[in-house]
């Protein structure tokens, strides 16, 4: 099993769109078993795959429950089935409560998410565990980084987004002291034919950040697909971004569990 955190400190760079389409393509094209973990209190991923839950998770176990330990003892009993091969651990406003409690009382248990990932690995019931992180450091995003063996950092070609990559990169260095196997790679998203994209990629490489060869082009089909709650391969399979995500997923799979890193 590969546990991948999709993270950038910067908001709006395409983390959730990447999580959605990575999960969908892994299941649809490659027959993989995927578990998505929504680590973001904004719950965009949850709204996409389980719109009925919206802000109210009802009886469902959420990521916040896993973090507090208020969940079923068997990891897979906590999941919400989405479709064959795809399950979700949904988000809730409980993630915001956790952050407030962590600040107020200084208590948090990020290792609970790592235990969840370890149980999934031991049971061999999932091929991929994907964490959709919020922008910035929260209890859940730190927990995801600690639970993951790989980090994908979506980035747009602009200085603010690249600064977000560098912030994550710096934190990963600290985590790598205890977990040297943790690898991270940047994925350029929302690209277009422009010198600034080439310059952004060059800047990342010069800063020592590995970058995927595949890039995801900007197209209106992406926001349209989120409005229709359909992944790109279903909503607009011929669109540039749908094709790019498929090419990127093949690159990710070819890395065979080891994403390049330094
Ligand atoms: N390739 C693309 N082409 C066009 N628009 C895109 C593309 N990728 C993402 N977007 C749009 O950019 C916006 C941000 O995307 P997304 O929500 O995935 O970012 P995010 O990093 O998860 O944001 P947040 O940090 O708030 O969680 C959305 O409106 C989405 O539709
Ligand atoms: Mg998001």
pLDDT, tens digit (0-9, with 9 covering 90-100), for 9-55: 999 999 999 999 999 999 999 999 999 999 999 999 999 999 887 65
Spans of all domains in the chain: 2-254
The domain 2-254 belongs to what CATH superfamily? Answer: P-loop containing nucleotide triphosphate hydrolases (3.40.50.300)
pLDDT, tens digit (0-9, with 9 covering 90-100), for 149-181: 999 999 998 888 999 899 899 889 888 888 888
CA nearest 187: which of 209, 212, 166? 212
What's the CA-to-centroid distance between 118 and ligand 2, angstroms? Answer: 24
Q: Which atom of ligand 1 is nearest to the CA of 191?
A: 1
What's the CA-to-centroid distance between 18 and ligand 1, angstroms? Answer: 8
pLDDT, tens digit (0-9, with 9 covering 90-100), for 47-105: 999 988 765 677 899 999 999 999 999 999 999 999 999 999 999 999 999 999 888 88
Q: What is the DSSP string of 93-162?
A: THHHHHHHHHHHH----THHHHHHHHHHHHHT--SEEEEEPPSS--HHHHHHHHH-SEEEEEE-SSHHHH
Q: Which atom of ligand 1 is nearest to the CA of 40?
A: 27
Tokens standing for residue 90:
């949904």
Tokens standing for residue 199:
């310059």
* Ligand 1 pocket residues where CB is under 6 Å: 11-17, 40, 42, 44, 134-135, 189-190, 216, 218-219, 222-223, 226, 241
- Closest CA to ligand 1's atom 31: 223
Q: Which atom of ligand 1 is nearest to the CA of 216?
A: 1
Residue count (the chain): 262
CA nearest 214: which of 259, 242, 170, 245? 245
């Amino acid at each position: 099993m590969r546990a991948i955190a999709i993270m950038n400190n910067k908001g709006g760079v395409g983390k959730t769109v990447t999580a959605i389409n990575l999960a969908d393509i892994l299941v649809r094209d490659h027959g993989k078993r995927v578990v998505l973990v929504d680590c973001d209190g904004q719950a965009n991923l949850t709204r996409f795959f389980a719109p009925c839950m919206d802000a109210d998770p009802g009886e469902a176990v959420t990521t916040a429950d896993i973090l507090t330990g208020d969940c079923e003892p068997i990891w897979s009993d906590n999941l919400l089935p989405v479709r064959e091969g795809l399950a979700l651990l949904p988000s809730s406003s409980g993630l915001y409560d956790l952050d407030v409690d962590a600040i107020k009382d200084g208590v948090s248990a990020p290792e609970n998410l790592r235990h969840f990932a370890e149980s999934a690995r031991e049971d061999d019931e999932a091929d991929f565990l994907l964490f959709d992180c919020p922008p910035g450091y929260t209890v859940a995003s730190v927990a995801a980084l600690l639970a993951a063996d790989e980090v994908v950092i979506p980035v747009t070609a602009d200085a603010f987004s690249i600064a977000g990559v560098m912030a994550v990169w710096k934190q990963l260095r600290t985590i790598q002291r205890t977990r040297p196997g943790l690898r991270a790679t940047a994925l350029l998203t929302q690209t277009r034919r422009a010198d600034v994209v080439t310059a952004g990629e060059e800047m990342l490489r010069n800063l020592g950040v590995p970058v995927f060869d595949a890039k995801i082009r900007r197209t209106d089909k992406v926001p349209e697909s989120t409005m229709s709650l359909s992944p790109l391969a279903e909503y607009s399979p011929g669109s540039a971004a749908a094709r790019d995500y498929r090419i990127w997923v093949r690159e990710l799979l070819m890395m065979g569990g080891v994403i390049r890193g330094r």
